[in-house]
Amino acid sequence: MIRRVDRYRFREAGGFVVDASAKRGGEIVPFQTVPDPESCVVLLTQHAGRSNVPLVRPGETVIEGQKIADSDDAMGVPVHAPISGIVRKIEDVYHPGAGAGAPAAFIERHAPESPLGSRVFDPDRLDEVSTETLLGAVREAGIVGLGGAAFPTHVKLAMREKAARLVINAKESDPNVACDLRLQQEYPDEIVAGIRAMSRILDPEEVIFASRAGPGAFPELEALLARAGVAVAHIRPSYSVGSEKLLVRELFGLEVPCGGYPPDVGVVVHNVFTAYAVARALFAGEPLISRGLTLLSRATGPRNLWVKVGTPLRDVLRFAGLDPERFRRLTVASLLMGRSVPDPDVPVIKATAGICAFEPDEPDPYDRSLPCIRCGSCNAVCPVGIYPALIMEAEARGQTARLRRLHAEDCIDCGLCSYVCPATIRLTGSLRRATATVRPANGSGASSGSEHPGSGDTDRPFGRGQRSC
């Protein structure tokens, strides 16, 4: 059964509203599979953590599903070849997550071969498998948080002692992403199988499926969840509640302490797409080499696509019938948090939940900003209760002590302050610099303002580095 989910006015603090109507109806658009590209550009590090090292060399032949990069770091997650082909070169390309250059393998497709699979588990006999084996399988499948922060999933799943509650975040808060809801319509079995597997590993006292959709929107999924003993929490439409820390507050009234993570208050949060990926990895032997995403443009509206990781945006746009050259701005991930990219050859990565293409007559709304009028809208809307305008002021004056008093490190980079600013000031740059100023230099390896990789934060869609308090 296909039903529309009509809750696209996301209520925020201070009485403000995020208009997510651009993705209206996206949940009824079925996934289409983008054909394998002639050439893939696979970034060798696609998780929040230390860099991987390549396991292949130029000229080597690889098979779909073959591991091509990995690290011996505990937080490391391997990357796999999304297509069978020949590695032509390994060189730096623009990383849409980091916003900087990073090594990538260029794989040229050749005649298809049977993809490499990994060990497949019987979903009904998971109790006979050790937790360590399951965690190892999740890691080897290269699974990271698919909400956007790309935090290694096996690391979160290993927090068994801390996890009294497992929350599946199906909030789908980004104003341009519709694929999470679509996934819930098309793949309810896989989602519930993934949740079961995660529950088996974490052994929580309670499992909650947090959804933006109202009761009855996805009857099949709801019936499966009920059978699996998973409670469904219907969350109010809100963008900021998509952040896992704020979701924890919304659901349980708990506050994750500064510098901490949800497991510190007994909660582990995973994205619904991650649950699906875990199911595919454990029960179909499929590493994470493709994902669903939503392409949004004025010409196409929201389109849900199934895309191989490493596919250049150019190929995705062409598949949707769009000429990549006609756009002036291309953004990846969330419209409120994601980056715009320098060219359409930038590849899809594991964390790419959305792509937006803006025509030349859709200019950057922040092009003509005015001086701050101190209206306080940014302060009122801030979901974590900091004062973005005062932070911007202190940052401009180089007042580090004041930045600490203002708790600049608590910014979750949600972008709401800029979104409501009547002077159309993009505050994010200033806030990122401020956060970097007050954060310790060794803060979990995070460089200033980097969303991921390199960020130790599991918060999504608000990935930033570890905070100081």
How many angstroms separate the CA atoms of 19 and 23, rounded? 10
Give the residue with the Cβ less far from other proteins, 200 or 329: 329
Q: Is-contact 317 356, C-beta < 8 A?
A: no
User: Which candidate, 318, 319, 302, 308, places its Cα nearest to that of 355?
Assistant: 302
Looking at beta carbons only, is 28 or 380 nearer to other proteins? Answer: 380
Minimum distance from residue 365 beta carbon to other proteins (Å): 4
Do the beta carbons of residue 105 and residue 42 sit within 8 Å? yes
Cβ neighbours of 255 (radius 10 Å): 12
Q: Which is nearer to other proteins, 197 or 336 (CB)?
A: 336
C-alpha span between 442 and 454 (Å, rounded): 12
**Least separation, in Å, of the C-beta of 405 and other proteins?**
7
User: Closer CB to other proteins, residue 118 or residue 340?
Assistant: 340
User: Rounded to an integer, what distance in angstroms lies between the CA atom of residue 175 and that of residue 340?
Assistant: 16
- The nearest distance, CB 353 to other proteins, in angstroms, is 14
HSE-CB for 249 with a 13 A CA cutoff: 12
Nearer to other proteins, 112 or 257 (CB): 257
Bridge-based pairing of strands 9-11 and 17-19 is antiparallel
Cβ proximity of 28 and 49 under 8 Å: no
Q: Can you tell me the distance from the alpha carbon of 37 to that of 83, in angstroms, rounded to the nearest whole number?
A: 8
Shortest reach from residue 257's CB to other proteins, in Å: 6
Cβ proximity to other proteins, 1 vs 401, nearer residue = 401
DSSP 51: P
Burial profile 58-93: b = 16 or more Cβ within 10 angstroms, e = fewer: eeeebebbbbbbbbeeebbbbbbbbbbbbbeebeeb
Shortest Cβ 265–other proteins spacing (Å): 11
Structural tokens at position 357:
């293409």
Alpha carbons 53 and 62: distance in angstroms, whole number: 16
Taking the complex as a whole, how short is the minimal distance between the CB of residue 299 and other proteins, in angstroms?
17
- In one-letter notation, the amino acid at residue 63 is I
Question: Which CB, 282 or 351, lies closer to other proteins?
Answer: 351
CA pair distance 196, 194, nearest whole angstrom: 5
**Minimum distance, C-beta of residue 331 to other proteins, in the bound complex (Å):** 5
Q: Which is nearer to other proteins, 103 or 262 (CB)?
A: 262
Shortest approach of other proteins to residue 311 CB, angstroms?
Answer: 18
Cβ-based nearer residue to other proteins, 154 or 460? 460
The Cα–Cα gap between 82 and 335 comes to 26
CA distances from 63 to 84, 108, 119, 286, 348 (A): 4, 11, 16, 13, 19
CB of 402 to other proteins, least distance (A): 8
- Cα–Cα distance measured from residue 396 to residue 430, given in angstroms and rounded to the nearest whole number: 8
Q: How far is the CB of 207 from other proteins (least distance, A)?
A: 23
Cβ proximity to other proteins: between 200 and 426 the closer is 426
